[in-house]
A and B are shown apart, each in its own frame.
Chain A
Amino acid sequence: MKTFLLRLREANKISFFSLWLLIFLYAMAFLADFIAPYPYDLQNRDYALCPPTVPRMISGGRISRPFVYGIKIINPAFKQYAPDTLATHDIEFFRKGPERKILGLFRSSTYLFGAGSGKIFLFGTDLHGRDVFSRILHGARVSLSIGVIGVSISFVLGLLVGGISGYFGGRTDTILMRLVEIIMMFPFFYLMLALRAAFPPNLSSVQVYLLIVVILSLIGWASLARIIRGMVLSIKEEEYVLAARSLGLSSYRIITRHILPSTLSYTTTALTLSVPGYILGESALSLLGLGIQEPHASWGNMLSVTIGNLRILTGAPWMLIPGFFIFLTVISFNFLGDGIRKVADPRNW
């Protein structure tokens, strides 16, 4: 593992950085309860669509403890706010607040930070006055895990079916590939909707989450299986496969040890490239009200509120921040995939 990291750093600085960025994002998601200053569903009715509060360090020309200004409501009807420069609230770290469960395991009333008696909305608030920063942290749990879990399921399926189909060929190949074609024949989006509609609408948020993962990966494996099959068809003619057969290795071992690892350079890239598809797929479902339901947060459903709402796009651009996080995650995964592809191949050492 250590050599892997060293090699990654040597091979590709950007992908090494991306790896740390992803680790950081996942850590943030993991510790969301602790880091977020507010619960994801706490509504501050008086502060709907409030712009981000900027933490400041300079007061009266001198460096001071970090603080935020209070928020002055200028016009509640038109959601106009201004910083109240007369009221300053120091940012307190490890402050006490209302008790809540962390990771659903233990209760704690310590928060990483907060703004004393004032409000601190690092990324502003949404239509209901909920803190966007806190919601992004909680939404990251859904959005960051849905890609990884979904990708793992569809890759296991895709590698298995593609590997078997390509290696054995003949009738097995015909049957499996026709199955793949049937799945690919349906337009992705409508198949997703149909699958979702096949399940009862009133599910708990955990059930919905699992359902979305399963639906997305059941759709996603088909195209992968097809490409893997094509690669296996050519790899199985490689001489080292013949050598492995001449040693009397079983088909299972030949597929898993010799053929599938050779598809690695493609699969790692495809793997990281398809993570964004899952994040976006989840947001598409959420947009239609079939994904993660309000008040639960995911990057997708936070972003979906902004679609078609010109007032938000022009007047409250901070609500697009979840999109920035999707972008950051996606591009980090892509860079990471690129780096892994280089490092995983011993010929590049």
Chain B
Amino acid sequence: MEKTLEISNLEVSARDGKKSFAILRGINLCAEPNQAVALVGESGSGKTMTAMSVMRLLPRNLAVDRGRILLRGEDILAMSESQMRHIRGKVASMIFQEPSSYLNPLFTVGSQVMEAVKNGEERFEKTMKMFEDVELERNVYFQYPHQLSGGMQQRVMIAMAMINNPALLIADEPTTALDVTTANGIVLLLRKMMDKYGLSVLFITHDMSLAASFAEKIGVMYAGRLVEFSDAAGIFKSPLHPYTEKLIDCLPERYAPGSRIRTVEGSVPDFRQLPGGCPFHLRCPYKITLCTQRKPGPTLIGTTTVRCFKYGDDGQDS
């Protein structure tokens, strides 16, 4: 069966005057239909920029240099802007972290959901059905964004994104701004939408355990690189990349109350001055000389792709 999303060798750079900086390098990931793929990583690791590349909504100073992004087999990087309009919202759509600022404060939420429905169809009925799907009452239609709670706003965002029945939904930290119970409701709703519409979800989050419980596949990103892409089921038992290992090691639920939680020492390097070699070597406990000289290429171990010299050197610099 055709993959819903397939990203291969994606490279994105930022231009600042004449200088150019690598933002994303060698991103390879794919999502099958009805599959949830999570992207985890610290802030600034390039998760959102990967998502924006899929929507072709990168900020002005960022551009895709190389690579391919296929949505249901169609190469979207080769498309014109007007063709892209028929992709956005219809094949791939997106929800965001802070739903309150992604809704226009001047209009009722219903009219904003209905906006994306083509004329001629039974727009109002369709919108109402979608409101039922996202478990909102009908009278919410006539309310303004500021009258709704964060969870309801996120449900409206999901309704907006789902109204044209896309194949892929990109959820960019949809639960970060919400409290735990509300967040849980949103995650359950996303799962329900997947079951109902055969939707694939690209789920971006900071939260490793949320990612593991929601998604089938997890991609761990570090400094614009996908350092590990593996099955969610196995990642807690056998993390391969040292960074993944460290991230899992920081999860608070793994510690007894009162004990000190370990962290990943140091911070994500600034993308303007990435270190040579593997970008993680400054924080890596398994560092060898090779790490400072070359970038590790992808190595396939079982179903997991990992970029680390721990698992051998295939000789190719990425």
* A-to-B contact residues, CB < 8 Å: 238-240, 242-250, 253, 257-258, 261-262, 264, 345-347, 349
Smallest distance from the beta carbon of A153 to chain B beta carbons, Å? 25
B87→A248 contact, CB < 8 A: yes
B115→A246 contact, CB < 8 A: no
A243→B157 contact, CB < 8 A: yes
B106→A262 contact, CB < 8 A: yes
- CB-based nearest B residue for A243: B102
A234 to B314, CA, bound (A): 49
A238 to B101, CA, bound (A): 8
| A264 surroundings in chain B (CB, below 8 A) | 106
A246 to B103, CA, bound (A): 12
A246→B98 contact, CB < 8 A: no
| Known pairs A240-B101, A240-B104, A248-B89 / 12 extra A-B pairs, C-beta < 8 Å | A242-B57, A242-B96, A243-B157, A246-B88, A247-B88, A247-B116, A248-B85, A257-B104, A262-B106, A345-B106, A346-B105, A346-B107
Number of interface residues of B (CB under 8 A): 28
| A246 surroundings in chain B (CB, below 8 A) | 55, 57, 88-89, 93-94, 161
| A257 surroundings in chain B (CB, below 8 A) | 104, 107, 115
Q: Which of A247, A262, A346 contacts B146 (CB 8 A)?
A: A346
Smallest distance from the beta carbon of B83 to chain A beta carbons, Å? 11
| B57 surroundings in chain A (CB, below 8 A) | 242, 245-246
Residue of B87, B88, B101, B106 with most chain A CB atoms under a 10 A cut-off: B106
Whether A247 contacts B106 in the complex (CB less than 8 A), given A239-B98, A240-B101, comes out as no
Q: Assess whether B86 is interfacial by the CB under 8 Å rule.
A: yes
| A239 surroundings in chain B (CB, below 8 A) | 96, 98, 101-102
A239 to B48, CA, bound (A): 14
Q: Assess whether B144 is interfacial by the CB under 8 Å rule.
A: yes
| A249 surroundings in chain B (CB, below 8 A) | 85, 89, 115-116
| B160 surroundings in chain A (CB, below 8 A) | 243, 247
Smallest distance from the beta carbon of B271 to chain A beta carbons, Å? 21
Q: Which of B101, B107, B115 contacts A247 (CB 8 A)?
A: B115
| A248 surroundings in chain B (CB, below 8 A) | 84-90, 93, 116, 164
- CB-based nearest A residue for B60: A169
| A261 surroundings in chain B (CB, below 8 A) | 104, 106-107
A240 to B156, CA, bound (A): 13
Residue of A244, A247, A349 with most chain B CB atoms under a 10 A cut-off: A247
Mark B69-88 against chain A: 1 for CB-CB distance below 8 A, else 0. 00000000000000011111
Contact residues of B between 112 and 132, Cβ < 8 Å to A: 115-116
| A238 surroundings in chain B (CB, below 8 A) | 101
- CB-based nearest A residue for B82: A250
A238 to B105, CA, bound (A): 11
**12 A-B pairs with C-beta separation under 8 A:** A239-B102, A243-B103, A244-B104, A246-B161, A247-B89, A247-B160, A248-B84, A248-B85, A248-B86, A248-B90, A249-B115, A258-B104
Smallest distance from the beta carbon of B96 to chain A beta carbons, Å? 7
| A243 surroundings in chain B (CB, below 8 A) | 94, 96, 102-103, 157, 160
Smallest distance from the beta carbon of B148 to chain A beta carbons, Å? 12
A346→B144 contact, CB < 8 A: yes
| B90 surroundings in chain A (CB, below 8 A) | 248
| A247 surroundings in chain B (CB, below 8 A) | 88-89, 93, 115-116, 160-161
A273 to B88, CA, bound (A): 41
Smallest distance from the beta carbon of A166 to chain B beta carbons, Å? 14
A247 to B157, CA, bound (A): 10
| A250 surroundings in chain B (CB, below 8 A) | 85
Mark B121-163 against chain A: 1 for CB-CB distance below 8 A, else 0. 0000000000000000000000010100000000001001100
Smallest distance from the beta carbon of A33 to chain B beta carbons, Å? 42
Q: Give me the 6 closest cross-chain CB pairs, A-B, nearest first.
A: A248-B88, A248-B89, A247-B89, A243-B102, A239-B101, A246-B94
Contact residues of B between 228 and 270, Cβ < 8 Å to A: none
- CB-based nearest B residue for A345: B106
A253 to B146, CA, bound (A): 23
| A347 surroundings in chain B (CB, below 8 A) | 105, 144, 146
- CB-based nearest B residue for A257: B115
- CB-based nearest B residue for A259: B104
- CB-based nearest A residue for B81: A251
A239 to B102, CA, bound (A): 5
Smallest distance from the beta carbon of B16 to chain A beta carbons, Å? 18
A248 to B88, CA, bound (A): 4
Smallest distance from the beta carbon of A252 to chain B beta carbons, Å? 11
A125 to B230, CA, bound (A): 93
Smallest distance from the beta carbon of B94 to chain A beta carbons, Å? 4
A239 to B98, CA, bound (A): 9
| A245 surroundings in chain B (CB, below 8 A) | 57, 88
Smallest distance from the beta carbon of A233 to chain B beta carbons, Å? 12
Smallest distance from the beta carbon of A105 to chain B beta carbons, Å? 40
Contact residues of B between 38 and 84, Cβ < 8 Å to A: 55, 57, 84
A345 to B107, CA, bound (A): 9
| B146 surroundings in chain A (CB, below 8 A) | 346-347
- CB-based nearest A residue for B163: A247
| B107 surroundings in chain A (CB, below 8 A) | 257, 261, 346
| B161 surroundings in chain A (CB, below 8 A) | 246-247
Residue of A245, A246, A249 with most chain B CB atoms under a 10 A cut-off: A246
A200 to B96, CA, bound (A): 61
Smallest distance from the beta carbon of B101 to chain A beta carbons, Å? 4
